[in-house]
Structure 1
């Protein structure tokens, strides 16, 4: 009789456990990271009798969670990639919003300033027209400084987000380590602590949103967690992560793991996904490129406008100075490990602008192999240029290396990083605007032909002031006419083709622009033999006629800078459009990557929950099944009790 009662009790307890587990599943249907649990039952070994083995009921083996290691890991990995792509995409969208098009953009400010010179060309002595140029120049510099400040604000925001993310990583790793300790103790009982395992998996899933991880299981049930190749959780111990400076001392550029007194810096490429990885890529690549594009634009405009402005005369007949405050380029930053055998580091690397039209928006790294030898790497694309002697000219920049650089020393050069923030106008008075050219033409008084000067402008590239007495073009009629040059001057060049004109005597072509010693002269008409045109210094103190008050040759040349190829082949007027395009392409690419990774992550999570999640319909059906089994078990005990009572009563008689 006791066997029947024991069998019913076993069945009752087993079905009660099944009911409780189903209820536990239903209660946690909306718990993030919860895995469905089920009771594993097995038949109790039967007892042998002469008539065979008689069953003794059921035993509870364990409560098992429905878990798929591959799908769980895949969901965490895809969420890490999605978090990184989304973080970078969001920041690039903010970056794109800074570089506005239309009337409020930098491009409009550049064009407005250059176009303002047209009114000065029409009325060289009109102070109102000159003041408009200065106003436009001030607006331009203000927009550059404002844009630079906005980039700094984005950078500051990224740093704050990175600090928050690292704090979140440290919090999560500490909690994982604590759960590891609890799990190890619980696993010692021989049964899996399902809810604790779910909690740990969820924390690892959350950790992957900040930084992509890998895990390794130990025999005691604990998990070791790695970011890159560095362990952040080992058993019940957690290491902290923090932001550190890069090799050149630039703060908050790398992620490091602090283990005791040892700091292990992680390679950005090994971090993989996660918010930290996305933010670091944005900060160390996208934001740097945007700053270089903006800085190059500011530096090129400043240098080209200043160089041309210096070739003019102001309203008082004085040679022009800088229209914009010259921008100084910072020296190269030495790597922390430079010349460790002969500290302190004394070598300096300088950089100056040689040709603003050839500059590339990039940082550079100088790697020394000896005194004045090594290589310079353009970091934007990895192009390497061998250096056999210094100074060396690369991409329109001149690099110099001071004494003390040794084999193995490395320097980071950032020519454009802070250029835009320092952009300002250098003159305050409209009278100081050098609109007139420093050179002027003189038509021969005895000329009989109708040759006339269409334009005369001094250009910064190769300009040499005409000598005392000027440079004279003496014409001879013919088919075609010819001319010779009198005065210390180089041979003329066809400006349109860049080819030297054969001679002397040189062939004269009406409407052709020729370049001599950096000044460009365009003539129209037919000369007679004996006609002459002189090009001379226009400054009154050097024998000029005072023509500077009447002409606007330098204003025309300044306005002509609009069409000078300056930014990767684009002219100055269109340079900002190229900047917007580069930022836009990066942003669109990041947005597309974010949308794709979000879809992949959603599918991976859906696949995981399809296997491990709770299905209410299924659990409801199980409740009915276990309820009926429970009731049947109770009935079995009731029957056993009735039989036992009857037996006792019969024996009492």
Structure 2
């Protein structure tokens, strides 16, 4: 009977080994499956006078081949990889918004500025003026299209975050259920391998969305924590996540992840503490990368629009009227806060804009600081009145109600500028191409003075442009009108500034030093002269709309020339207007390349760790096939052992029967 028992035990043990090998082969492609191995142990031998006689073999357990350390490292690396990849993919989409080529925004801006050259050559040519207006409308249209594309990207990011939240909450519920099953199964003293694999796979799946920390409990369950301390799954209880506007800045477009523990207020979690996971990457992209792209585009729209509006307002149309705004732009933007503060930001210095959002942080009383979020530069202020006097990066912050100490206000000056920009001038006659002033050399000049440049600048503002006085021939004595520069030959060469709006003319400034080619700025206009004057030489600057000059202004294109000259004005971080778009492309491109490199690096690390994990946990079909043959032979031998034991038993019974 002992031989029969040994054979039966061996048969059952090898049957379990065959079944385990078959289980491994069947799950070779199952995600998260860990290879299982039968652990056999010798049955305690029976003592006899001749020694211990073996009693065969038993199955001790089914071992799950896996490394806890490598499993966690692989899950964490996969989480970082998921974050980097999704951010790189979204940055690629943002980079497409700032594309080059003839269809890009940069080409439209250059075409618009270059179109003024034809107006400079032929100020009264209606076709040339129409081309300028068409180019301006095309530029505004492309800016709006780019802004719309950014809004579309933000919408898809929000939708992806919502679907990710749904997936994580579902996975958390599944893990809580598996935890319960594992806790029950642990009571029988054996390890539920397949349930543990299922739980590990759920953890890996959750980490694809949000990085977690795993802490095992004594009852066999595992707790999952997000952001270091918030229990997503604790034992058999799962807590839900959600996304919503940032609590501090509702309506600002900033999105945050919230932890919703039952019976307690929702906890807002910053993306910087989430670690890896696609949701972390999407939140970083939305709150940082996308905001920068929108600011770059909005700053470009505001700076170009404001400088062109300001210059166009100084010129004269074909009908002799002052020019109006070329582009519709916001005058101010409100601040975002959930505190007591109320205020707006307005635009004053278009050449000083920085592509950034700003925070006002109140410290004590009504004092605080304005922080430029792109680099952390701060500007302190003592109260609202003091803040209103400060010009920060070409912006003025005006508080109607200061916030309480500790509160913050977020300002997004450029967030909607590109989305709402519109071309406002539709008639070619309304293009203010003419200078509002003209200049004439004295008829009796004996020197070599020549006019090198004349334009209205409107600077300083205030007071802005003050046009020369008109003539009044009916007055006694007659008023000649205009501003006269009267020179005295040197050395040094000087000039007096005379106001001819009175009779006799009055002196505004005397003995001003003259340098050939240097600009002479008076009352918001600027004149450049070349050559050397003789004593008594004069230059008269007159109001172009003065009736004494008739319609001469219609054949003047000084303001169109000034508008065209704006392309060489530095306004985008030391880049000129014509180079500003290239600078924006470079900034977005650099950020994209950095994200792609990070994604490539994290992918390599994650692949290496997953390879190390599967080297321990993965199923090798060749190895399992060899084991099948081994266990098959052992099974057949065990069967033969039972057959022999049966024969011996039969022979024994036959012998006893005689």
- The TM-score with structure 2 as length reference comes to 0.92
1:471 corresponds to: 483
Conserved in 1, the CA contact under 8 Å of 2:314 and 2:465?
no
For 1:41-440, list aligned pairs within 5 A. 41-228=40-227, 229-246=229-246, 247-250=248-251, 253-262=255-264, 263-334=266-337, 336=338, 338=339, 345=340, 347-370=341-364, 372-388=366-382, 389-391=386-388, 392-440=390-438
1:497 corresponds to: none
Conserved in 2, the CA contact under 8 Å of 1:176 and 1:200?
yes
Conserved in 1, the CA contact under 8 Å of 2:457 and 2:465?
no
CA displacement, residues 337-359 of structure 1 (integer Å, 9 cap, x when unaligned): x2xxxxxx4x4211111111111
2:447 corresponds to: 449
SS in 2 for 1:521: strand
Conserved in 1, the CA contact under 8 Å of 2:36 and 2:62?
yes
Conserved in 1, the CA contact under 8 Å of 2:366 and 2:405?
no
* Separation in 2, partners of 1:481, 1:387: 47
How many residue pairs get aligned? The number is: 629
2:495 corresponds to: 483
SS in 1 for 2:130: helix
Moved more, 465-474 or 621-630: 465-474
Q: CA deviation at 1:103?
A: 1.3
* Separation in 1, partners of 2:254, 2:557: 51
SS in 2 for 1:393: coil
1:459 corresponds to: 457
* Separation in 2, partners of 1:252, 1:420: 19
Deviation >6 Å, runs of 4+: none
Q: Any unmatched runs of 5+ in structure 2?
A: 470-480, 502-508
* Separation in 2, partners of 1:464, 1:156: 46
Q: Any unmatched runs of 5+ in structure 1?
A: 339-344, 490-502
Q: CA deviation at 1:200?
A: 1.1
Conserved in 2, the CA contact under 8 Å of 1:67 and 1:611?
yes
* Separation in 2, partners of 1:369, 1:86: 39
Q: CA deviation at 1:467?
A: 4.7
CA displacement, residues 623-651 of structure 1 (integer Å, 9 cap, x when unaligned): 12212221222222122111111111111
SS in 2 for 1:145: helix
* Separation in 1, partners of 2:625, 2:329: 78
Conserved in 1, the CA contact under 8 Å of 2:484 and 2:500?
no
For 1:9-48, list aligned pairs within 5 A. 9-48=8-47
Q: CA deviation at 1:326?
A: 3.2
Conserved in 2, the CA contact under 8 Å of 1:243 and 1:252?
no
Q: CA deviation at 1:268?
A: 1.1
Conserved in 1, the CA contact under 8 Å of 2:329 and 2:417?
no
* Separation in 2, partners of 1:349, 1:594: 41
* Separation in 2, partners of 1:184, 1:479: 102
SS in 2 for 1:314: coil
Matched, 1:531 2:537: yes
SS in 1 for 2:94: helix
Q: CA deviation at 1:466?
A: 4.3
Conserved in 1, the CA contact under 8 Å of 2:343 and 2:401?
no
Q: CA deviation at 1:267?
A: 2.1
Matched, 1:582 2:576: no
* Separation in 1, partners of 2:11, 2:405: 82
* Separation in 1, partners of 2:366, 2:270: 30
Aligned mate of 2:611, from 606, 609, 624: 606
